[in-house]
A and B are shown apart, each in its own frame.
Chain A
Amino acid sequence: MSVQVLTDNEFPQTLTDNERVVVKYFADWCGSCKLFAPKYRRLSDDERFANVTFVDINAEENPEARKLANVDNLPFFATFRNGQLVEGGATAKEDVVVSMLERLTT
Chain B
Amino acid sequence: MGVSLHNFVTVQTTDIIRADPTPLAKAFWGRYFERSVRSSFHHVMIDGEGGVAGWTPNAPRRMTEPLILFATHHSWWDAALSIVLSLRTLRLDAYGMMEHKQLQKYQFFRKIGMFSVVREDPRSALRSIHHAADVLRGTGKSLWMFPQGELIQQDVRPISCDPGLGILTRLLGTAWLAPVAFRYEMVREQRPDVFIRIGAPQRVVWSADMRIENVMREAQDRLTALADGVRADAMAHNTAPYRTLYTGARSMEKLFDTITGKS
Contacts and interface: CB of A to CB of B under 8 A. Distances in A.
Contact of B111 (A29, A71, A72, A73): A29
Interface stretch (B24-32, B36-44, B148-156): B24-32
B22 interface: yes
Contacts of A74: 24, 28
A74 B28 CA distance: 6
Interface of B is mostly: helix
B31 A29 contact: no
Contacts, number: 23
Interface residues of A, number: 10
B22 A30 contact: no
A94 interface: no
Contacts of A71: 24
Interface in B30-60: 31
Contact of A73 (B22, B24, B107, B108): B24
A29 B27 contact: no
A66 B107 CA distance: 22
Contacts of A21: none
Contacts of B111: 27, 29
A74 B29 CA distance: 10
Interface of A: 27, 29-30, 59-60, 66, 71-74
11 contacts: A27-B25, A29-B25, A29-B107, A29-B111, A30-B28, A60-B24, A71-B24, A73-B24, A73-B28, A73-B31, A74-B24
Given A27-B111, A29-B25, A60-B25, 20 more contacts: A27-B24, A27-B25, A27-B28, A29-B107, A29-B108, A29-B111, A30-B28, A59-B24, A60-B22, A60-B24, A66-B24, A71-B24, A72-B24, A72-B27, A73-B24, A73-B27, A73-B28, A73-B31, A74-B24, A74-B28
